[in-house]
Chain A
Amino acid sequence: MRRRLVPYLLILPGGLWLAIFFVVPMVVMLSFSLMEGDVVNGFALTWHWQNYTEGISTYADQLVRSLLYGVLATAACILLAYPAAYWIAFRGGVRKTTYLFLMLLPFFVSFVLRTFSWKFLLADDGIVLGPLKSAGLLPQDFHVIATGFAVVAGLTYNYLPFMVLPIYVALERVDPTMVEAAQDLYAGRAQAFLRVVFPLSLPGVFAGVLMTFVPVSADYVNATVLGGTNNTMIGNIIQNLYLVNSDYPEAAALSFTLMAILLVGIFLYARALGTEDVLEVATR
Chain B
Amino acid sequence: MKATIVDLKPAVRRPRVRWGDRLLYLYTWAIIVWLCLPIAVMIAFGFNDTTGRLNLTWQGFTLKWYGQLFSVPDLTTALVNSLTIAVVATLGSAVLGTLIGLALGKYRFRGQGALNIVQFAAISAPETVMGASLLSFFVQLGVGRGYWTILIAHIMFSLSFVAITVRSRVLTLDPSIDEAARDLGAGGWAVFRLVTLPMIFPAVLAGALLAFALSIDDFIITSFNSGSTLTFPLWIWGAQRNGLPPQVNVMGTLIFVGGILLAAGNAVVARRRR
A residues near B, CB below 8 A? 4, 6-8, 10-11, 13-15, 17-19, 21-26, 28-29, 32, 80, 83-84, 86-88, 91, 97, 99, 101-103, 105-114, 116-118, 120-121, 123, 126-127, 157, 160-161, 189, 210, 214-215, 217-221, 235, 238-239, 242-243, 248, 251-252, 255-256, 258-259, 262-263, 266
Give bound CA distance, A17 to B153, whole Å: 10
Question: B122: which A residues are within 8 A, CB to CB?
Answer: 18, 22
A contacts with B: majority SS:
helix
A sample of 17 more A-B contacts (CB under 8 A), given A15-B100, A113-B42, A215-B127, is A6-B107, A10-B107, A11-B104, A13-B95, A22-B133, A29-B132, A29-B137, A84-B28, A103-B31, A106-B38, A110-B252, A113-B248, A114-B42, A117-B39, A242-B132, A251-B132, A255-B132
**B25 adjacent to A91 (CB under 8 Å):** yes
**A218 adjacent to B129 (CB under 8 Å):** yes
Smallest Cβ-Cβ distance to A283: which chain B residue? B168
Give bound CA distance, A131 to B68, whole Å: 32
**A111 adjacent to B28 (CB under 8 Å):** no
Question: A121: which B residues are within 8 A, CB to CB?
Answer: 37-38, 41
Question: B28: which A residues are within 8 A, CB to CB?
Answer: 83-84, 87-88, 99
Give bound CA distance, A245 to B221, whole Å: 18
For residue B83, CB closer than 8 A to chain A, the reply is no
Shortest beta-carbon distance, B54 to chain A, in Å?
10
Contacts A25-B134, A28-B136: A91 and B24 contacting too (C-beta < 8 A)?
yes
Contacts A103-B35, A109-B256, A266-B124: A21 and B153 contacting too (C-beta < 8 A)?
yes
Smallest Cβ-Cβ distance to B36: which chain A residue? A105
For residue B219, CB closer than 8 A to chain A, the reply is yes
For residue B128, CB closer than 8 A to chain A, the reply is yes
For residue B269, CB closer than 8 A to chain A, the reply is no
**A25 adjacent to B136 (CB under 8 Å):** yes
Question: A109: which B residues are within 8 A, CB to CB?
Answer: 38-39, 42, 252, 255-256
Smallest Cβ-Cβ distance to B13: which chain A residue? A189
B residues near A, CB below 8 A? 17, 20-21, 24-25, 27-28, 31-32, 34-39, 41-42, 56, 95-97, 99-100, 102-104, 106-107, 109, 111, 115, 118-119, 121-122, 124-130, 132-137, 139-140, 152-153, 155-156, 159-160, 163, 188, 213, 216-217, 219-220, 223-224, 232-233, 236-237, 240, 244, 248, 252, 255-256, 259-260, 263, 267
Question: A32: which B residues are within 8 A, CB to CB?
Answer: 136, 140
**A10 adjacent to B256 (CB under 8 Å):** no
**B97 adjacent to A14 (CB under 8 Å):** yes
Question: A242: which B residues are within 8 A, CB to CB?
Answer: 132, 135, 224
B contacts with A: majority SS:
helix
Give bound CA distance, A157 to B37, whole Å: 11
Contacts A14-B99, A109-B252: A8 and B128 contacting too (C-beta < 8 A)?
no
Smallest Cβ-Cβ distance to A225: which chain B residue? B240
Smallest Cβ-Cβ distance to A161: which chain B residue? B35
Question: B129: which A residues are within 8 A, CB to CB?
Answer: 29, 218, 238, 255-256, 258-259
**B128 adjacent to A255 (CB under 8 Å):** yes
**A29 adjacent to B136 (CB under 8 Å):** yes
Give bound CA distance, A92 to B235, whole Å: 40
**B236 adjacent to A259 (CB under 8 Å):** no
**A87 adjacent to B25 (CB under 8 Å):** yes
**B255 adjacent to A10 (CB under 8 Å):** no
**A113 adjacent to B236 (CB under 8 Å):** yes
Give bound CA distance, A251 to B131, whole Å: 12
Contact among B24, B41, B96, B223 for A14, CB-based, below 8 A: B96
Smallest Cβ-Cβ distance to A86: which chain B residue? B24
**B160 adjacent to A114 (CB under 8 Å):** no
Contacts A102-B36, A242-B132: A111 and B217 contacting too (C-beta < 8 A)?
yes
Question: A13: which B residues are within 8 A, CB to CB?
Answer: 95-96, 99
